[in-house]
């Protein structure tokens, strides 16, 4: 089974990178989650993530290749 698949990490059409997919607010820190209904990746603020934990899935199976920001 192949885990690395670009198509599995497509972002939702309505997702905007610097805004929360759920509440549309700009947030300092956004988390990338999988929207279970559409199976697409979306950005979420921490508040929405906690409030809507049943609708989203933390998908961290993709190897991180970017720099580590501290
Ligand atoms: Zn939000």
Please give the mean pLDDT across all residues of the chain: 86
Output the CA 7–ligand 1 centroid distance in Å.
Answer: 25
Dihedral sign from CA coordinates of 70, 66, 64, 31: positive
The reported pTM is: 0.76
pLDDT of residue 30: 93
Instruction: For the chain, give every domain's residue range.
Output: 6-57
Output the CA 60–ligand 1 centroid distance in Å.
Answer: 20
pLDDT, tens only, 22-56: 999 998 899 999 999 999 999 999 999 999 999 99
Greater confidence (35 vs 62) lies with 35
**Contacts of residue 21, Cβ cutoff 8 Å, sequence gap at least 6:** 12, 14, 15, 35, 42, 43, 44, 48
């Amino acid at each position: 089974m192949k885990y690395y698949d670009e198509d599995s990490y497509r972002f939702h059409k309505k997702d905007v990178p610097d805004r929360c997919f759920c509440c549309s607010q700009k947030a300092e820190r956004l988390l990338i989650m999988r929207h279970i209904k559409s199976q697409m990746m979306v950005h979420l603020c921490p508040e929405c993530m906690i409030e809507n934990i049943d609708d989203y899935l933390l998908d961290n199976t993709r190897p991180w290749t970017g720099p580590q920001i501290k």
